Amino acid sequence: MGTLANLDFTIKFWKTILILKMECRNYYFFLLYFDLKHDP
């Protein structure tokens, strides 16, 4: 029981980290694109 709950927590934890990483990367690319677009 304890191991199963631990595993569930670990999966949720890694999912959250992956989502945050993807969002950060998208945000970074957006900033990069924004900079390139507005470069004089």
What is the per-residue pLDDT across 5-34, written as a single tens digit (0 to 9) for each?
Answer: 899 999 999 999 999 999 999 999 988 888
pTM to 2 decimal places: 0.55
The amino acid that residue 20 corresponds to is: L
**What DSSP letter does each residue of 23-36 carry, written as one string?**
HHHHHHHHHHHHHH
